[in-house]
Structure 1
Amino acid sequence: MEKDTSQKKIVIFGESQLASLAHFYFKHDSSHEVVAFSVDKAYRKSDQFENLPLVDFETVQEHYPPSEYYMFLPISFKRMSHLRREKFEAAKEKGYSLVSYVSSKATTWPGLDIGENCFIFEDNNIQPYVKIGDNCILWSGNHIGHHTVIKNHVFITSHVVISGACTIEDHAFFGVNATIRDETMIAEATLVGMGAIITKDTEPYQIILGARSTVMPKKSMDLDSISHKSNG
């Protein structure tokens, strides 16, 4: 991925800690300018956030038209990142192009293939020939091995090791310190818990917890939320 030096004006979705973090990173580590925030009307409690305008998402395009502004949606892993996907698709339907943020303190190589609305924090080590799809979050300190393909709407917390030539399907989630063996396929919406060690392909919607990599009887989409026991 070549560094984007063109300045873009960005509207950030949300008024959460994650939205505040996104504002900080764009302000101090990008050429872009955050001009406003947006949130669903039902949840908007004021007209400002971080000393910038806060507008309803339902009408954001009237204030900040997609022909002139970009959007960034730093939304958590709720419902295995399906909420983030829904807002991603809603912003695209409004006509917005979505920016991605890759920390200057991450280790990357020329040719990194990355989609829209990705949030890649500091100290990620992303080796050559990695491909990352749309709407993924990689928190700080992960290792992504060469020739790995991370598809869409994936959430990787911190200090996760994904070895070379793995395939990570949509909506997968990785807890802190999880380790994935090389050439492994992580199926759609697999929840890999904190400290789990994965040495073989998973099945869709599996929940795999702990150093013994115990497969839970529930499916990931059955969870109302992901607790600290699985995400660190």
Structure 2
Amino acid sequence: MNIPYTYINKMAQIIIFGTKDLAELAHYYITNDSIHEVVAFTVHKKYKNIDEFKGLPVIDFESIVDTFPNSDFKLFAPMIGKNMNRLRESVYIEGKNKGYQFISYISSKATLFDNVIGENCFILENNTIQPFTKIGNNVVLWSGNHIGHHSEIKDHVFFTSHVVMSGHCTIEPYCFFGVNSTIRDDCHVAKGTLLAMSASLVSAKTEEWSVYIGNPAKKIVGKISYEVF
């Protein structure tokens, strides 16, 4: 098994976006389980209400390049899935437009098999990502998921905990999967699908921006995922 690329890249100095729970968790994981060093936090100026977090400076995101140039520092934005991951996407795109590279954090307690994994992914402990599965940019895999073989998870997707995704699945961007949800093999999960907690998706294909609940999961007519979450 090859070592995930985040562990063989040279050490980088990291600025974490946010000053709430996920930023604190990211600081803990990166500090204790990576080769990288966190040097600061950043938020948009209108949301900045502190100048220091975890003993490090908090910088306005709008002017971050003036203090931490993109040639010397990298970003990490471990944000929640609000608005079907589009809020996290907007921060990721804004950082890319400022010329920054993003690291991905992959837990040393996750199991991988030479998988291709993009930028700004937050992959926590006890995830199993089977061979021949690709993961795009800005993807969160919270703890304890099974990610089946020969599958593809595209950009801006959020798996909560203990989700089972079987093999040969395609997950389009902006999807969100609740705790203990299940995705059968050969599913094509359409853009913006929200699969509720403990729901079991047995249909081969979903509809874009729809909400599915139950076992087997059924679409909630009239509900749009980005209006629900």
TM-score (norm: length of structure 1): 0.94
1:133 Cα deviation after fit: 0.2
Paired amino acid for 1:96? Y
* Structure 2 unaligned residues grouped into runs of 5+: none
1:222 Cα deviation after fit: 2.1
1:46 Cα deviation after fit: 1.4
SS at match of 2:91: helix
State yes or no: 1:206 paired with 2:203.
Answer: no
State yes or no: 1:36 paired with 2:40.
Answer: yes
State yes or no: 1:219 paired with 2:227.
Answer: no
1:119 Cα deviation after fit: 0.2
Count of matched residue pairs: 223
State yes or no: 1:117 paired with 2:120.
Answer: yes
Map residues 1-232 of structure 1 onto 2, 5 A cutoff.
1-2=4-5, 3-109=7-113, 111-200=114-203, 201-217=205-221, 218-223=223-228, 225=229
Q: Deviations over 1:28-67 (max 9, x none)?
A: 0000000000001111111101110001001011110000
Q: Deviations over 1:72-125 (max 9, x none)?
A: 00111110000000000000000000000000000111x210000000000001
* Structure 1 unaligned residues grouped into runs of 5+: 226-232
Paired amino acid for 2:77? L
1:6 Cα deviation after fit: 1.3
Paired amino acid for 1:59? S
**What is the root-mean-square deviation of aligned Cα atoms in Å?**
0.9
TM-score (norm: length of structure 2): 0.95
Paired amino acid for 1:69? F
Task: Measure the CA separation in 2 of the matches of 1:183 and 1:8.
Answer: 38
